[in-house]
Amino acid sequence: MTHTADTIVVAVGGNALQPPGEQADIYDQFRHTRESLAVVVALAREGWQIVIVHGNGPQVGDALVRNEMALSAVEPLPVGVLVASTAGWIGYMIQQSLQNALTLNGIDRDVLTIITQSVVRRDDPCLKTPSKPIGNPLNAEEAKALKLRGEPVGKDGSGRLRRLCPSPDPYDVVESDAVRQLVHEGKIVVAAGGGGPPVYQDERGRLEGLDAVVDKDRTAAILGCKVGASTLIILTDVEGVYRGWNTDQKKLISRLSVSQAEELLAGDELGRGSMRPKVEAAVDFVRGGGKRGIIAELACGIEALRGETGTIITGELE
């Protein structure tokens, strides 16, 4: 795949739309969505070809709660279907909010949402070991009740109790060619929402869904390579990758080569928290032909693109 200099994949976490500890209703989530799109508007003004990938951890967890509360009235939906459902309505929020912002700024670009499917391996061992935190943080009583029902619960990267879900590694995106065509036509495309509902190919080549979730940053890296993006920027709630995180000596790492990032991943410094898959995704993207992977705070996306903040991962340091 030939990578173009002006195509970017912007990955935004589901927590940006529903911050931890906040019982955000749909109106709050629309407000947070509008607040999160300044970086995309700036990129559109500069003429970038743009793919937006969003997370859905809090939202798919809420959907599971609705499943449980409605058991006496309707049949529950499996997690894979809930991923597709949240990708649809979160995509709608982003699509509407961004279209309004572009119009307000005099930028003539179309925005659309595609439900994309992420291909995983049916025998992925991750399917047997739930590890991906979803939903809002739980108190001890809520966690105990879930465990008694046989639902997996564990701590996330910040030490909060959360529901856990199987999370197999993706290796392809079914609709990547369609996304690439639309992006190269100038459309801003919201795709791989929540990492995309996971599917596998059976022995006859048919796609079948799985009761699991996929890490959205990993899917963003794959989709970035497929559409020929030069840049992957992962926007999160911290400034970038740190050495000595959660210590008084923590220090931001501003630049890493792929080999340096892999050395960091080989150690225990990143733990098993949410930063590890972000670094892994950035490395995979650069290994796949992208020019740079950036991890930065949501409010500082443009500054990170200019190299003023965040962590930039490249093939070789200049």
Q: Is 240 a catalytic residue?
A: no
Q: Is 251 a catalytic residue?
A: no
Instruction: Yes or no: say if 11 and 51 are a contact pair by the CB < 8 Å rule.
Output: no
Catalytic residue among 132, 195, 196, 293: 132
Catalytic residue among 57, 135, 240, 278: 278
Residues facing 208 on adjacent strands: 200
Q: Is 15 a catalytic residue?
A: yes
Burial of 96 (0-12, 13-18, 19+ CB in 10 A): middle
Q: In the 3-class helix/strand/coil scheme, how is the chain assigned residue by residue?
A: CCCCCCEEEEEECHHHCCCCCCCCCHHHHHHHHHHHCHHHHHHHHCCCEEEEEECCHHHHHHHHHHHHHCCCCCCCCCHHHHHHHHHHHHHHHHHHHHHHHHHHCCCCCCEEECCCCEECCCCCHHHHCCCEEEEEEECHHHHHHHHHCCCCEEECCCCCEEEEECCCCCCEECCHHHHHHHHHCCCEEECCHHHCCEEEECCCCCEEECCCCCCHHHHHHHHHHHHCCCEEEEEECCCCEEECCCCCCCEEECEEEHHHHHHHHHCCCCCCCCHHHHHHHHHHHHHCCCCEEEEEEHHHHHHHHCCCCCEEEECCCC
Catalytic residue among 80, 135, 195, 216: 216
- Dihedrals phi, psi of 158, to nearest 5 degrees: -100, 10
Rounded Cα gap, residues 89 and 14, in angstroms? 12
Q: Is 278 a catalytic residue?
A: yes
Q: Which residues are marked as active site?
A: 14-15, 132, 216, 278
